[in-house]
Chains A and B, each alone.
Chain A
Amino acid sequence: MTVDPAQAGDLLHLGFWMLTSGGHVGSWRHPATRPERLVSMDHYIETTRLAARGKFDMVFFEDTLAARERNGGVFGEVSFNSLDPLVQIAALAGATSDIGLAASFSTTYHSPRVLADKFATIDRLSGGRAGWNMVTSGAAAGRNFGSGSHPEHEVRYSKAHETVEEVRALWASAPPSPQGQPVLIQAGMSQWGLDFASAYGEAIFAAFRDIEGGRAFRTNLRTMAMAKGRSPDAVKILPGFMPLIGSTSAEIADKKAFYRELVHPAMVRGMLGERFNFDFTDYDLNRPFPLDDIMDGLEDRPMIGGDRARFVKEVQPGDTVAAYAERMASKLSGHLTCEGSPEDIADFMQAWLQGGACDGFIMQALQIPVELELFVDQVVPVLQRRGLHRTDYAGLTLRGHLGLEARR
Protein backbone atom coordinates (compact mmCIF):
# COMPACT_ATOMS: atom_id res chain seq x y z
CA MET A 1 0.00 0.00 0.00
CA THR A 2 1.36 3.40 -0.87
CA VAL A 3 1.21 6.10 1.77
CA ASP A 4 0.49 9.67 0.78
CA PRO A 5 2.66 12.01 2.84
CA ALA A 6 0.16 14.81 2.25
CA GLN A 7 -2.72 12.75 3.70
CA ALA A 8 -4.58 14.73 6.38
CA GLY A 9 -5.32 13.22 9.79
CA ASP A 10 -8.91 12.75 10.95
CA LEU A 11 -8.65 13.54 14.67
CA LEU A 12 -7.11 16.56 16.38
CA HIS A 13 -4.31 16.02 18.87
CA LEU A 14 -4.24 18.76 21.48
CA GLY A 15 -1.47 19.66 23.86
CA PHE A 16 -1.88 22.34 26.51
CA TRP A 17 1.21 24.48 26.99
CA MET A 18 1.37 25.25 30.69
CA LEU A 19 2.80 28.65 31.45
CA THR A 20 2.48 29.99 34.98
CA SER A 21 -0.47 32.38 34.63
CA GLY A 22 -1.09 32.04 30.90
CA GLY A 23 0.38 32.70 27.48
CA HIS A 24 -0.16 36.46 27.61
CA VAL A 25 2.67 38.42 29.20
CA GLY A 26 0.22 40.51 31.22
CA SER A 27 -1.80 37.53 32.44
CA TRP A 28 -0.35 37.59 35.95
CA ARG A 29 -2.00 41.02 36.39
CA HIS A 30 -5.41 39.66 35.26
CA PRO A 31 -8.04 40.15 38.01
CA ALA A 32 -8.71 36.40 38.06
CA THR A 33 -5.02 35.53 38.61
CA ARG A 34 -3.93 34.95 42.18
CA PRO A 35 -0.17 35.24 41.70
CA GLU A 36 0.67 33.68 45.06
CA ARG A 37 -0.88 30.45 43.78
CA LEU A 38 1.61 30.26 40.90
CA VAL A 39 4.10 28.81 43.37
CA SER A 40 1.67 26.13 44.56
CA MET A 41 1.36 22.69 42.99
CA ASP A 42 -2.42 22.97 43.44
CA HIS A 43 -2.56 25.56 40.63
CA TYR A 44 -0.87 23.20 38.17
CA ILE A 45 -2.94 20.21 39.32
CA GLU A 46 -6.21 22.10 38.87
CA THR A 47 -5.15 23.37 35.45
CA THR A 48 -4.11 19.90 34.33
CA ARG A 49 -7.43 18.47 35.49
CA LEU A 50 -9.20 21.19 33.53
CA ALA A 51 -7.22 20.23 30.40
CA ALA A 52 -8.13 16.57 31.08
CA ARG A 53 -11.79 17.60 31.25
CA GLY A 54 -11.27 18.97 27.72
CA LYS A 55 -9.69 15.59 26.78
CA PHE A 56 -6.39 17.15 25.76
CA ASP A 57 -3.74 14.60 24.76
CA MET A 58 -1.23 16.16 27.13
CA VAL A 59 -0.06 19.10 29.15
CA PHE A 60 3.40 20.41 28.36
CA PHE A 61 5.87 22.33 30.54
CA GLU A 62 8.76 24.27 29.03
CA ASP A 63 12.16 24.58 30.65
CA THR A 64 14.54 27.48 31.10
CA LEU A 65 17.91 27.20 32.81
CA ALA A 66 18.36 30.86 33.71
CA ALA A 67 16.22 33.56 35.28
CA ARG A 68 14.54 35.90 32.82
CA GLU A 69 16.56 39.11 32.86
CA ARG A 70 16.63 42.64 31.60
CA ASN A 71 19.42 45.20 31.92
CA GLY A 72 21.65 43.16 34.20
CA GLY A 73 19.08 41.96 36.71
CA VAL A 74 15.95 39.88 37.01
CA PHE A 75 13.00 40.98 34.85
CA GLY A 76 10.79 41.55 37.86
CA GLU A 77 7.84 43.07 36.00
CA VAL A 78 6.82 39.68 34.57
CA SER A 79 6.10 36.28 36.11
CA PHE A 80 9.06 33.94 36.74
CA ASN A 81 9.70 31.64 33.81
CA SER A 82 9.79 28.08 35.01
CA LEU A 83 10.25 25.88 38.02
CA ASP A 84 11.79 22.45 37.38
CA PRO A 85 9.29 20.93 34.92
CA LEU A 86 10.10 17.34 35.88
CA VAL A 87 9.24 17.95 39.52
CA GLN A 88 5.93 19.27 38.21
CA ILE A 89 5.05 16.41 35.88
CA ALA A 90 6.18 13.82 38.46
CA ALA A 91 3.74 15.36 40.96
CA LEU A 92 1.04 15.45 38.26
CA ALA A 93 1.57 11.73 37.69
CA GLY A 94 0.30 11.27 41.25
CA ALA A 95 -2.59 13.70 40.86
CA THR A 96 -4.08 12.68 37.49
CA SER A 97 -4.88 9.39 35.78
CA ASP A 98 -5.25 9.83 32.04
CA ILE A 99 -3.83 12.96 30.44
CA GLY A 100 -0.28 12.88 29.00
CA LEU A 101 2.53 14.72 30.84
CA ALA A 102 5.32 16.23 28.79
CA ALA A 103 8.24 18.53 29.55
CA SER A 104 11.32 20.02 27.97
CA PHE A 105 14.70 19.00 29.38
CA SER A 106 18.07 19.93 27.99
CA THR A 107 20.41 17.63 26.05
CA THR A 108 23.16 20.20 26.62
CA TYR A 109 23.07 20.42 30.41
CA HIS A 110 21.96 16.94 31.54
CA SER A 111 23.74 13.64 31.00
CA PRO A 112 22.02 10.85 29.05
CA ARG A 113 21.84 8.88 32.29
CA VAL A 114 19.97 11.66 34.12
CA LEU A 115 17.58 12.18 31.20
CA ALA A 116 16.90 8.47 30.76
CA ASP A 117 16.41 7.93 34.46
CA LYS A 118 14.05 10.81 35.10
CA PHE A 119 11.77 10.30 32.11
CA ALA A 120 11.68 6.51 32.57
CA THR A 121 10.74 7.00 36.22
CA ILE A 122 7.96 9.46 35.43
CA ASP A 123 6.75 7.19 32.63
CA ARG A 124 6.45 4.30 35.11
CA LEU A 125 4.88 6.47 37.83
CA SER A 126 2.26 7.77 35.38
CA GLY A 127 1.44 4.44 33.81
CA GLY A 128 2.92 5.39 30.44
CA ARG A 129 1.97 9.05 30.06
CA ALA A 130 5.37 10.77 29.82
CA GLY A 131 6.80 12.76 26.93
CA TRP A 132 10.19 14.42 26.57
CA ASN A 133 10.67 17.59 24.50
CA MET A 134 14.35 17.42 23.55
CA VAL A 135 15.86 20.91 23.72
CA THR A 136 19.43 22.17 23.49
CA SER A 137 18.70 25.25 25.68
CA GLY A 138 19.10 28.96 25.09
CA ALA A 139 22.33 30.93 25.39
CA ALA A 140 21.46 32.42 28.77
CA ALA A 141 21.93 29.01 30.41
CA GLY A 142 25.68 29.08 29.75
CA ARG A 143 26.44 31.39 32.64
CA ASN A 144 25.02 28.89 35.12
CA PHE A 145 26.93 25.88 33.80
CA GLY A 146 30.61 26.57 33.56
CA SER A 147 32.68 29.12 31.80
CA GLY A 148 29.73 31.20 30.66
CA SER A 149 30.05 30.16 27.04
CA HIS A 150 27.13 28.27 25.64
CA PRO A 151 28.26 25.70 23.01
CA GLU A 152 27.74 26.62 19.34
CA HIS A 153 24.80 25.32 17.34
CA GLU A 154 26.60 22.43 15.71
CA VAL A 155 28.23 21.24 18.91
CA ARG A 156 24.92 21.32 20.74
CA TYR A 157 23.13 19.50 17.98
CA SER A 158 25.65 16.75 17.45
CA LYS A 159 25.60 16.23 21.20
CA ALA A 160 21.80 16.05 21.04
CA HIS A 161 22.01 13.23 18.49
CA GLU A 162 24.40 11.23 20.66
CA THR A 163 22.36 11.93 23.75
CA VAL A 164 19.05 10.73 22.36
CA GLU A 165 20.68 7.54 21.07
CA GLU A 166 22.17 6.86 24.50
CA VAL A 167 18.91 7.69 26.24
CA ARG A 168 17.01 5.23 24.07
CA ALA A 169 19.59 2.52 24.75
CA LEU A 170 19.22 3.13 28.50
CA TRP A 171 15.43 3.05 28.23
CA ALA A 172 15.67 -0.31 26.49
CA SER A 173 17.43 -1.62 29.63
CA ALA A 174 14.81 -0.24 32.04
CA PRO A 175 11.49 -1.76 33.11
CA PRO A 176 9.07 -0.70 30.34
CA SER A 177 6.00 1.38 31.12
CA PRO A 178 2.63 0.52 29.54
CA GLN A 179 3.62 2.66 26.53
CA GLY A 180 7.09 1.11 26.35
CA GLN A 181 9.10 4.33 26.29
CA PRO A 182 8.33 8.04 26.71
CA VAL A 183 7.18 9.96 23.63
CA LEU A 184 9.96 11.99 21.97
CA ILE A 185 8.97 15.57 21.19
CA GLN A 186 10.96 18.18 19.31
CA ALA A 187 10.58 21.81 18.38
CA GLY A 188 12.57 23.83 15.92
CA MET A 189 12.42 24.30 12.19
CA SER A 190 16.06 24.67 11.12
CA GLN A 191 17.50 22.15 8.64
CA TRP A 192 19.18 20.44 11.58
CA GLY A 193 15.85 20.44 13.36
CA LEU A 194 14.19 18.74 10.40
CA ASP A 195 16.84 16.01 10.23
CA PHE A 196 16.53 15.39 13.94
CA ALA A 197 12.73 15.56 13.92
CA SER A 198 12.37 13.16 10.99
CA ALA A 199 14.77 10.70 12.67
CA TYR A 200 13.45 10.78 16.24
CA GLY A 201 10.52 13.15 16.68
CA GLU A 202 7.09 11.72 17.38
CA ALA A 203 5.36 14.99 18.19
CA ILE A 204 6.75 18.16 16.60
CA PHE A 205 6.04 21.65 17.90
CA ALA A 206 6.22 24.14 15.06
CA ALA A 207 5.34 27.70 14.08
CA PHE A 208 3.69 28.55 10.78
CA ARG A 209 2.43 31.79 9.30
CA ASP A 210 -0.34 30.24 7.24
CA ILE A 211 -2.01 27.01 6.26
CA GLU A 212 0.11 26.65 3.09
CA GLY A 213 3.30 26.89 5.15
CA GLY A 214 1.98 24.24 7.50
CA ARG A 215 1.01 21.90 4.68
CA ALA A 216 4.40 22.22 2.99
CA PHE A 217 6.24 21.58 6.27
CA ARG A 218 4.09 18.61 7.23
CA THR A 219 4.32 16.96 3.83
CA ASN A 220 8.09 17.49 3.77
CA LEU A 221 8.64 16.11 7.26
CA ARG A 222 6.43 13.08 6.64
CA THR A 223 8.34 12.41 3.41
CA MET A 224 11.66 12.70 5.27
CA ALA A 225 10.42 10.30 7.97
CA MET A 226 9.43 7.76 5.28
CA ALA A 227 12.88 8.08 3.72
CA LYS A 228 14.27 7.07 7.12
CA GLY A 229 12.07 3.98 7.20
CA ARG A 230 9.43 5.39 9.52
CA SER A 231 5.69 5.56 9.02
CA PRO A 232 4.63 9.15 8.22
CA ASP A 233 1.88 8.72 10.81
CA ALA A 234 4.55 8.21 13.49
CA VAL A 235 5.21 11.99 13.37
CA LYS A 236 2.51 14.38 14.60
CA ILE A 237 2.87 18.07 13.74
CA LEU A 238 1.47 20.45 16.36
CA PRO A 239 1.79 24.18 15.68
CA GLY A 240 1.69 26.62 18.57
CA PHE A 241 -1.72 28.21 18.85
CA MET A 242 -3.53 30.68 21.08
CA PRO A 243 -7.23 31.40 20.54
CA LEU A 244 -9.10 34.56 21.50
CA ILE A 245 -12.68 33.52 22.11
CA GLY A 246 -15.57 35.98 22.06
CA SER A 247 -19.14 35.68 20.88
CA THR A 248 -19.38 39.05 19.08
CA SER A 249 -16.91 41.33 17.37
CA ALA A 250 -17.54 43.92 20.07
CA GLU A 251 -16.69 41.38 22.75
CA ILE A 252 -13.50 40.44 20.93
CA ALA A 253 -12.44 44.08 20.57
CA ASP A 254 -13.09 44.65 24.28
CA LYS A 255 -11.10 41.60 25.22
CA LYS A 256 -8.15 42.68 23.10
CA ALA A 257 -8.20 46.13 24.66
CA PHE A 258 -8.43 44.56 28.09
CA TYR A 259 -5.35 42.38 27.54
CA ARG A 260 -3.48 45.33 26.02
CA GLU A 261 -4.12 47.24 29.25
CA LEU A 262 -2.60 44.41 31.29
CA VAL A 263 0.74 45.17 29.65
CA HIS A 264 1.90 47.82 32.12
CA PRO A 265 4.25 50.59 30.83
CA ALA A 266 6.99 49.27 33.14
CA MET A 267 6.54 45.85 31.55
CA VAL A 268 6.86 47.43 28.10
CA ARG A 269 10.13 49.15 29.01
CA GLY A 270 11.37 45.89 30.51
CA MET A 271 10.51 43.90 27.38
CA LEU A 272 12.36 46.45 25.27
CA GLY A 273 15.37 46.15 27.58
CA GLU A 274 15.23 42.35 27.44
CA ARG A 275 15.01 42.31 23.64
CA PHE A 276 17.66 44.85 22.80
CA ASN A 277 19.92 44.79 25.86
CA PHE A 278 19.49 48.56 26.00
CA ASP A 279 18.25 50.43 29.03
CA PHE A 280 14.88 52.00 28.21
CA THR A 281 13.97 52.61 31.85
CA ASP A 282 14.15 56.39 31.63
CA TYR A 283 14.13 56.73 27.85
CA ASP A 284 11.65 59.17 26.29
CA LEU A 285 9.43 56.79 24.35
CA ASN A 286 8.41 59.52 21.90
CA ARG A 287 11.95 59.76 20.53
CA PRO A 288 12.94 57.84 17.39
CA PHE A 289 13.84 54.21 17.96
CA PRO A 290 17.59 54.25 18.87
CA LEU A 291 18.49 51.52 16.42
CA ASP A 292 21.98 52.89 15.71
CA ASP A 293 22.89 53.03 19.40
CA ILE A 294 21.62 49.47 19.83
CA MET A 295 23.50 48.18 16.78
CA ASP A 296 26.71 49.91 17.92
CA GLY A 297 26.59 47.97 21.14
CA LEU A 298 25.74 44.62 19.62
CA GLU A 299 29.30 43.62 18.75
CA ASP A 300 30.29 43.86 22.39
CA ARG A 301 27.62 41.42 23.33
CA PRO A 302 28.57 37.98 22.13
CA MET A 303 25.35 36.14 22.98
CA ILE A 304 22.96 37.43 20.36
CA GLY A 305 20.22 34.94 19.77
CA GLY A 306 18.29 34.60 16.52
CA ASP A 307 15.46 36.36 18.25
CA ARG A 308 17.27 39.66 18.59
CA ALA A 309 17.97 39.81 14.87
CA ARG A 310 14.26 39.24 14.29
CA PHE A 311 13.35 41.99 16.75
CA VAL A 312 15.68 44.41 14.98
CA LYS A 313 14.01 43.58 11.67
CA GLU A 314 10.64 44.47 13.18
CA VAL A 315 11.72 48.08 13.70
CA GLN A 316 10.12 50.10 10.89
CA PRO A 317 11.58 53.26 9.34
CA GLY A 318 10.40 56.32 11.23
CA ASP A 319 9.36 54.31 14.32
CA THR A 320 9.31 56.03 17.65
CA VAL A 321 10.01 53.73 20.57
CA ALA A 322 6.35 54.13 21.53
CA ALA A 323 5.16 53.01 18.08
CA TYR A 324 7.34 49.92 18.15
CA ALA A 325 6.35 49.22 21.74
CA GLU A 326 2.66 49.50 20.92
CA ARG A 327 2.93 46.86 18.19
CA MET A 328 4.91 44.64 20.55
CA ALA A 329 2.46 45.06 23.44
CA SER A 330 -0.62 44.50 21.24
CA LYS A 331 0.66 41.21 19.96
CA LEU A 332 -1.06 38.39 21.81
CA SER A 333 1.70 35.84 21.25
CA GLY A 334 4.38 34.74 18.83
CA HIS A 335 2.19 31.84 17.74
CA LEU A 336 -0.84 31.39 15.54
CA THR A 337 -3.80 33.25 16.89
CA CYS A 338 -7.42 32.97 15.91
CA GLU A 339 -10.16 35.32 17.05
CA GLY A 340 -13.82 34.53 16.97
CA SER A 341 -16.76 32.63 18.33
CA PRO A 342 -16.36 29.01 19.46
CA GLU A 343 -17.61 27.96 16.00
CA ASP A 344 -15.05 30.23 14.32
CA ILE A 345 -12.23 28.75 16.40
CA ALA A 346 -13.42 25.23 15.57
CA ASP A 347 -13.62 26.17 11.86
CA PHE A 348 -10.04 27.39 11.98
CA MET A 349 -8.76 24.23 13.68
CA GLN A 350 -10.74 22.02 11.32
CA ALA A 351 -9.39 23.82 8.24
CA TRP A 352 -5.82 23.32 9.37
CA LEU A 353 -6.36 19.66 10.23
CA GLN A 354 -8.29 18.76 7.08
CA GLY A 355 -6.00 20.89 4.94
CA GLY A 356 -3.13 18.60 5.91
CA ALA A 357 -1.35 21.50 7.61
CA CYS A 358 -1.13 19.92 11.06
CA ASP A 359 -2.17 16.97 13.23
CA GLY A 360 -3.41 19.19 16.03
CA PHE A 361 -2.13 22.08 18.12
CA ILE A 362 0.00 22.86 21.12
CA MET A 363 -2.27 25.45 22.64
CA GLN A 364 -1.70 28.29 25.04
CA ALA A 365 -4.45 30.13 26.88
CA LEU A 366 -4.25 33.91 27.27
CA GLN A 367 -4.93 33.44 30.96
CA ILE A 368 -5.16 30.36 33.19
CA PRO A 369 -7.76 29.25 34.07
CA VAL A 370 -10.31 31.70 32.59
CA GLU A 371 -9.42 31.32 28.90
CA LEU A 372 -8.69 27.59 29.14
CA GLU A 373 -12.07 27.09 30.77
CA LEU A 374 -13.73 28.99 27.91
CA PHE A 375 -12.01 26.73 25.38
CA VAL A 376 -12.90 23.54 27.25
CA ASP A 377 -16.53 24.52 27.84
CA GLN A 378 -17.28 26.20 24.51
CA VAL A 379 -14.88 25.11 21.76
CA VAL A 380 -14.26 21.48 22.75
CA PRO A 381 -17.97 20.52 22.51
CA VAL A 382 -18.11 21.97 18.98
CA LEU A 383 -15.04 19.96 17.97
CA GLN A 384 -16.57 16.86 19.53
CA ARG A 385 -19.89 17.32 17.72
CA ARG A 386 -17.98 17.53 14.47
CA GLY A 387 -16.19 14.27 15.26
CA LEU A 388 -12.79 16.01 15.33
CA HIS A 389 -11.96 15.47 18.99
CA ARG A 390 -12.38 12.54 21.39
CA THR A 391 -15.29 12.58 23.84
CA ASP A 392 -13.29 10.39 26.21
CA TYR A 393 -9.85 8.89 26.42
CA ALA A 394 -9.71 5.59 24.53
CA GLY A 395 -6.54 4.47 26.30
CA LEU A 396 -4.41 5.42 29.25
CA THR A 397 -1.04 6.18 27.63
CA LEU A 398 0.28 9.26 25.85
CA ARG A 399 1.25 7.11 22.85
CA GLY A 400 -2.32 5.85 22.75
CA HIS A 401 -3.71 9.40 22.82
CA LEU A 402 -1.39 10.52 20.03
CA GLY A 403 -2.09 7.47 17.87
CA LEU A 404 1.51 6.27 18.12
CA GLU A 405 2.59 2.64 18.40
CA ALA A 406 3.92 1.43 21.75
CA ARG A 407 7.72 1.40 21.63
CA ARG A 408 9.48 -1.61 23.17
Chain B
Amino acid sequence: MPAFRVEIRVMPRGGILDPQGQAVTHALHALGFADVTGARVGKHLVLTVDAANSGAAGQQAKAMCDRLLANPVTEDYLVAVEPA
Protein backbone atom coordinates (compact mmCIF):
# COMPACT_ATOMS: atom_id res chain seq x y z
CA MET B 1 0.00 0.00 0.00
CA PRO B 2 1.26 3.49 -0.73
CA ALA B 3 2.20 5.81 2.08
CA PHE B 4 0.45 9.11 2.64
CA ARG B 5 1.46 12.16 4.57
CA VAL B 6 -1.51 13.20 6.69
CA GLU B 7 -1.46 16.65 8.24
CA ILE B 8 -3.97 17.37 10.99
CA ARG B 9 -4.72 20.80 12.36
CA VAL B 10 -6.36 20.84 15.78
CA MET B 11 -7.69 24.21 16.94
CA PRO B 12 -9.52 25.37 20.06
CA ARG B 13 -13.19 25.50 19.15
CA GLY B 14 -14.54 28.90 18.23
CA GLY B 15 -16.32 30.47 21.17
CA ILE B 16 -13.98 28.91 23.71
CA LEU B 17 -11.61 31.49 25.15
CA ASP B 18 -8.10 30.85 23.82
CA PRO B 19 -5.74 32.44 26.36
CA GLN B 20 -2.65 31.38 24.39
CA GLY B 21 -3.97 33.21 21.34
CA GLN B 22 -4.68 36.30 23.45
CA ALA B 23 -1.18 36.22 24.91
CA VAL B 24 0.31 35.96 21.41
CA THR B 25 -1.83 38.90 20.24
CA HIS B 26 -0.64 41.02 23.16
CA ALA B 27 2.99 40.08 22.55
CA LEU B 28 2.71 40.96 18.85
CA HIS B 29 1.16 44.32 19.74
CA ALA B 30 4.04 44.94 22.14
CA LEU B 31 6.48 44.32 19.25
CA GLY B 32 4.71 46.92 17.17
CA PHE B 33 2.58 44.63 14.98
CA ALA B 34 -0.44 46.79 15.63
CA ASP B 35 -2.43 45.40 12.69
CA VAL B 36 -2.89 42.00 14.34
CA THR B 37 -6.49 41.83 15.52
CA GLY B 38 -6.56 38.22 16.66
CA ALA B 39 -4.55 35.03 17.06
CA ARG B 40 -5.48 31.49 17.93
CA VAL B 41 -3.02 28.77 18.90
CA GLY B 42 -3.57 25.10 18.08
CA LYS B 43 -1.66 21.94 17.29
CA HIS B 44 -0.29 20.55 14.06
CA LEU B 45 0.23 16.80 13.75
CA VAL B 46 1.95 15.07 10.84
CA LEU B 47 1.34 11.34 10.39
CA THR B 48 2.64 8.86 7.86
CA VAL B 49 -0.12 6.38 7.05
CA ASP B 50 -0.20 3.38 4.71
CA ALA B 51 -3.53 3.23 2.90
CA ALA B 52 -5.08 2.03 -0.36
CA ASN B 53 -5.70 5.60 -1.50
CA SER B 54 -5.83 9.14 -0.18
CA GLY B 55 -9.54 8.88 0.65
CA ALA B 56 -8.91 5.85 2.88
CA ALA B 57 -6.00 7.63 4.58
CA GLY B 58 -8.24 10.62 5.24
CA GLN B 59 -10.99 8.43 6.69
CA GLN B 60 -8.50 6.75 9.01
CA ALA B 61 -7.23 10.14 10.12
CA LYS B 62 -10.77 11.32 10.85
CA ALA B 63 -11.38 8.25 13.01
CA MET B 64 -8.12 8.95 14.86
CA CYS B 65 -9.19 12.54 15.49
CA ASP B 66 -12.63 11.53 16.73
CA ARG B 67 -11.23 8.95 19.14
CA LEU B 68 -7.97 10.46 20.34
CA LEU B 69 -6.29 13.34 18.57
CA ALA B 70 -8.97 15.98 19.16
CA ASN B 71 -11.47 16.48 21.95
CA PRO B 72 -14.86 17.08 20.32
CA VAL B 73 -15.99 19.17 23.30
CA THR B 74 -13.21 21.72 23.08
CA GLU B 75 -11.50 21.39 19.70
CA ASP B 76 -12.11 21.33 15.93
CA TYR B 77 -9.83 19.62 13.45
CA LEU B 78 -8.96 19.69 9.75
CA VAL B 79 -7.34 16.81 7.83
CA ALA B 80 -5.18 17.19 4.68
CA VAL B 81 -3.73 14.19 2.82
CA GLU B 82 -0.95 14.12 0.23
CA PRO B 83 1.30 11.36 -1.16
CA ALA B 84 4.29 10.78 1.13
- Decide if A and B are genuine partners: no
Q: Interface of A with B (CB < 8 Å)? A: none
Q: Interface of B with A (CB < 8 Å)? A: none
